Structure 1
Amino acid sequence: MSNKFQQTGVLDRLNKASSAEEIFALLGVDYDPKIVNVARLHILKRMGQHLAKEQFAGVAEGEVVARCKAMLEQAYADFVASSPIDQRVFKVLKDAVAEPKKPAAFVPLNTLK
């Protein structure tokens, strides 16, 4: 296992990363810069959703690295296969296709007292 992960822990290093490219490099995941330039926030959000479901307490660092790498690879693959619009990771994109809300009933001003 790489010494850089043993010094501070991969989760700490990921948390301190300042770019998507840095996260890909930390985990050793190859990527197409064109895809990352278009979908970086979506990929990271999807990875975060996967991470939120994980329990890492008591897990060996090598296993944590492997699981994080797999989550990033899966999140990236989602956006290689389809667009951010298709994946709808963010609320604003989900709301755009949600059932339209019924407009409030119109009440003419002259009926109010």
Structure 2
Amino acid sequence: MISSSPATGILDRLGKASSAEEFFSLLGVEYDPKIVNVARLHILKRMGQYLAQEKFAGAAEPEIRTRCKAMLERAYGDFVASSPIDERVFKVLKDAVSDSKKAAAFVPLSELK
């Protein structure tokens, strides 16, 4: 379990979290274990995408915590309303869609030896 020392910032504690459940616990976000069991990596990846768009420089710790909580709630909400397949957070899932739109390679029988 992660120490919740007040001297350690929330971003540091999130960086040391070892499970999705720890993220939810640290930020005080309620969740359905059934959804987290299916989409834990997708939720955390999406939260990371949201975090990457944020600028925390100069922000006070309570504001950072509030914004992180909102991002986790938003990421979690994405997968409550949809599925990992529909959201396609990971490259392999994105590529599966783009590959299906490519024309299938056609090799005429006359070309086969």
Q: TM-score, normalised by structure 2?
A: 0.86
Gaps of 5+ in 1: none
TM superposition shift of 1:6: 3.2
* Greater Rg by CA: 1
CA contact 1:46–1:75 (8 Å) conserved in 2: yes
Identify the residue that residue 88 of structure 1 maps to in structure 2. 88
Q: CA deviation at 1:109?
A: 8.7
C-alpha distance in 2, partners of 1:104/1:48? 40
1:76 maps to a residue whose letter is Y
After TM superposition, the structure 1 = structure 2 runs for residues 1-113 of structure 1, keeping only pairs within 5 Å, are 4=4, 6-98=6-98, 99-100=101-102, 103=105, 108=111
CA distance in 1, matches of 2:7, 2:56: 17
* Structure 2 counterpart of 1:103, one-letter code: A
Separation in structure 2 between the aligned mates of residue 109 and residue 95 of structure 1, nearest angstrom: 29
**Letter of the structure 2 residue corresponding to residue 88 of structure 1:** R
Question: What is the one-letter code of the residue matched to 1:70?
Answer: A
For structure 2, list consecutive stretches of 5 or more residues without a partner in the other structure: none
Q: Distance in 2 between matches of 1:93 and 1:8?
A: 36
Partner Cα separation in structure 1 for residue 16 and residue 103 of structure 2: 40
Question: Helix, strand or coil for the counterpart of 1:6?
Answer: coil
Equivalent residues of 1:10, 1:61 under 8 A apart: yes
What CA RMSD, in Å, does the superposition of the two structures yield over aligned residues?
1.9
Deviations 1:37-79 (A, max 9, x none): 0000000000000000111010000000000000000000000
Structure 1 residue ranges, 4+ long, deviating more than 2 angstroms after superposition: 101-106
> What percentage of aligned pairs have identical amino acids?
71
